Structure 1
Amino acid sequence: MNKENIAIPVSVTKTKAVKRKNKNLLTPWLFLLPSIIVLGTFLVIPIVEAFHWSLLDYKIIAGTGEFVGLANFKEIFTDTTFWLALWNTILFLIIVLPLNIFLPMILAVLVNQAIKGVSTFRILYYLPVVTPMVVAALMWKMLYSQSGPISSILVSLGLFDNPTNLLVESSTALVAVSAITVWKGLGYYMIIYLAGLQSISKDVYESAEIDGANAIQKFWRITVPMLTPSVTLVSVMTIIAGMKVFEEIALTTGGGPAGATTTLVMYIFNKFMSLDVSIASAAGVVLLLLAIGASLLQMKLTSSREDDLRA
């Protein structure tokens, strides 16, 4: 009887412990469930459907599609407009990526100083981030107009003989749109760098000053290496955002002039608007794979750089 009396409480205790453990494991998933549902509905399912449609000759009006395998991919790879859009996307990234890495970093260093009114500058630099893209696009279209201040400045500097709208010139349109993108994200990336800067110990800078380092040397030898994780994050975010750039182009140039600002997303959008959803889906799959590959490559390069600095 004594053994039985002892065994029962132990068994009950073990059962309660298992239930408590299971409950603890279940609780985080319950909190994540709303996000999982949203991501599954608006991200995972559309990606799966895009892969599915890319293998079909899908008729959106009829709601039916015939399996054609990789024929859609073959068609886009033989389409000169697709290659133009891909080249424009690469050029856009080449312009935007270095600017998004270094300009916000320099701003973050400036607003990280303990000076009077620095909070005001932080707010001003962040204002473009919260400005709606429609408003920003209209503002920049006015700035870029022939009678706008940017045209006047360029003429006064001798870069142009006559007032010119940069958005309507094939040679300058992509650069002009890139400037809008950089301006729009400047404050957001600055905040990322600012968080990284505030995690760097002041003792490191004080030691460098004792050794005779000037401001430039401290920036390149201490600040930049210590901000490598932030650089990685900003780089990957810029690559992903640059690959899917759409709003600023749609609202300013519409992909023109003569396709000079037609990026991959604009190409996909135009195909969808012409109800060629299978070709658009195939191009979307290519875009997804390119974005993943470019992000992984950038992370690998930055990680190697970080390992070299640690060594």
Structure 2
Amino acid sequence: MKIQKRLYSYYLIWPALLIYSIFFVLPALIGLYYSFTDWRLDRLEINFVGWDNFTRIFTDDTLLLALKNTFIFAVATVVGKNVLGIALAVALNMRLKTRNLLRAIFYSPSILSILVIGIVFTPLLRTEGAVNRILESIGLHGLSQAWLTDPSIVIWTIAAVSIWQTTGFQMAIYLAGLQSISKDYYEAATIDGATSWKSFRHITLPLLLPAININVMLTLIGGLKVFSEVFILTGGGPGNASQVFGTIILRTFGEGSWGLGTAINTLLFAFVAVISIPLLIFMRRKEVSE
């Protein structure tokens, strides 16, 4: 009877584990195998080639550029979305008459389709677009750029659009965290003579760590898996200047190089796991210690 009680919870888990294994774990393992083969659309025979696909990734200039752009995008969006998200949350947690309206305004871009955002921003960011015209009209000619056609800044432009779109979502999570912090802490700090900055540093940030952990992980994984923003705004151009792993995977599969495409996808999975899991463990420990 005791054994049955202990196993009862496992009986409830097994169906979910079985479905997860069939539709996620098994395809992942099959994909891992094919990443070590020369699987192509124009061939019937599939041969094991070892590490050749992965060696090609680290020797091909386009693939290395895609790897670099992926990390640039991930770092830029993690920093931008979280810093701005915290700033907006703190500002809109104050007693402003229009705070509910402002919250809705800042959150609304996150519910828009990336396709709609691409249609809106593409003409705005052209060389002769509204952004450059506004900058020139206020005398900031030096800031006028070819936002989507200059290879040196295009990935940063795409990152800025992504930050604009989803910072409101991070803001909402931070707002929920801020509203769970008791005002007694701030009142005690004020009595002790603490400044607003010290209260923010020693009270707000430590107690906001759970929300920070969630947002950092969401933005990091989303940044490393970026695809839609690049595909809609530039398609990986100009040339290959804004290619990321997501767009390279699509192009590689489209060309019929399924083995190489699977290898790139496997490498992307490895990067996400290797970066996110240790970071999550570190942040969890930091959260507990605080």
Q: TM-score, normalised by structure 1?
A: 0.83
Give the Å deviation of 1:192: 1.4
Q: State whether structure 2 residue 183 is matched by structure 1 residue 183.
A: no
Q: Which runs of 5+ in 1 are unaligned?
A: 1-13
The residue correspondences of 1:150-299 to structure 2 (distance < 5 A) are 150-156=131-137, 160=141, 164-299=145-280
Aligned residue for 1:56? 37
201-210 or 220-229, which deviates more: 220-229
CA gap of 1:159–1:265, structure 2 versus 1, over 3 A, is: farther
Amino acid in the other structure paired with 2:222: A
Q: State whether structure 2 residue 10 is matched by structure 1 residue 29.
A: no
Deviations, residues 122-173 of structure 1 (Å, cap 9, x unaligned)? 2222211110110011111122123433112333465545964411111221
Aligned residue for 1:111? 92
Select which of 61, 64, 80 maps to 2:61: 80
CA RMSD of aligned residues (A): 2.6
Deviations, residues 271-301 of structure 1 (Å, cap 9, x unaligned)? 1110101011111111111111111243244
Quote the Cα distance in structure 1 between the aligned partners of 2:12 and 2:183.
37
197-206 or 296-305, which deviates more: 296-305
Deviations, residues 3-50 of structure 1 (Å, cap 9, x unaligned)? xxxxxxxxxxx6xx877x3795367438x73x863x445533332222
Aligned residue for 1:66, secondary structure, equals: coil
Amino acid in the other structure paired with 2:116: V
Question: Based on CA coordinates, which of the two structures has the bigger radius of gyration?
Answer: 1
Aligned residue for 1:120? 101
Q: Which runs of 5+ in 2 are unaligned?
A: none
State the number of aligned residues.
290
Deviations, residues 195-230 of structure 1 (Å, cap 9, x unaligned)? 211221111011111122232332222111211222
Deviations, residues 213-259 of structure 1 (Å, cap 9, x unaligned)? 23233222211121122212211111111111011110111111132
Quote the Cα distance in structure 2 between the aligned partners of 1:202 and 1:27.
45
Amino acid in the other structure paired with 2:219: T
Amino acid in the other structure paired with 2:162: T
Amino acid in the other structure paired with 2:51: L
Aligned residue for 1:65, secondary structure, equals: coil
Quote the Cα distance in structure 2 between the aligned partners of 1:148 and 1:36.
53
Q: TM-score, normalised by structure 2?
A: 0.89
Checking the alignment, whether the CA contact within 8 Å between 1:57 and 1:278 is kept in structure 2 is: yes
Select which of 116, 129, 143 maps to 1:148: 129
Aligned residue for 1:59, secondary structure, equals: coil
Structure with the greater relative contact order (CA < 8 A, sep ≥ 6): 1 or 2?
Answer: 2
